[in-house]
Amino acid sequence: MAIQALQLPPPDAPSAPGSNEPHFDPEADIGAQLRELRLIKGLTLKAVAEQAGISVGYLSQLERNHSRLPIGVLKKISDALGVHMNWFFQQKTVGDASERDIVVRAGNRRSMSFTGLGITEELLSPNLSGPLELLQSTIAPGADSEDYSHDGAEAGLVLSGTLELWVSGRHFTLQEGDSFAFKSTEVHRCANPGTTATRVLWVITPPHY
């Protein structure tokens, strides 16, 4: 979807009836995704609203799907939540309603590309509201996640390629079929030193997308 520059009204101003301004349909349930990500990251309404330059009341309305959501405002909220907008453009590909709380079909995976890092991740678990998160990462040759840490624990399996892994300063080189596990509170980093893409299956608890 091409996103054009928009002349947006003040964030707290309601959209005028019949307005042609691009926005997300409240029925798309974007609000539930906003709230889910905010809670997973341990952020308050106030913290996200301040970063996005909107009011707490307006953000609360958006999370309850009670206000229209201009694309420009979604971009600011996405930045505050540390995700790219393409996460929210995939809400229509969640699969058959009778199974989507349990099953994720291969063609319905939600994906996220991290600009500048060379890492793409696909969400394999049905949602982020359960006790764990299942991801498949594709790491481009030469890509490096850089150091980070967070609450919880994680484990992984190298599906293909070579993975360099650092955990609290310890360095490991893993090949296809190798696996690992560590506390996420330890500073960790991964990189692909090879010439072909590396694929890794990750299990993270609690979800930290």
Number of neighbours of residue 130 by Cβ within 10 angstroms: 13
Q: 84 and 146: one domain?
A: no
pLDDT > 60? residue 207: yes
Q: 124 and 190: one domain?
A: yes
Do 179 and 157 form a contact (C-beta atoms < 8 A)?
A: yes
Residues 170-174, mean pLDDT to the nearest whole number? 98
Look at 74 and 115; give whichever has higher pLDDT: 74
Number of folded domains that form the chain = 2
Q: 27 and 80: one domain?
A: yes
Look at 97 and 76; give whichever has higher pLDDT: 76
Residues whose CB falls within 8 Å of the CB of residue 88, separated by 6 or more in sequence, listed in order: 24, 30, 33, 74, 78
Whether this prediction's pTM lies above 0.85 is answered by no
Q: 129 and 190: one domain?
A: yes
Q: Does residue 8 lie within any of the structural domains?
A: no
> Each residue of 109-149: pLDDT tens digit?
887 765 567 888 888 998 777 889 899 999 999 999 888 88
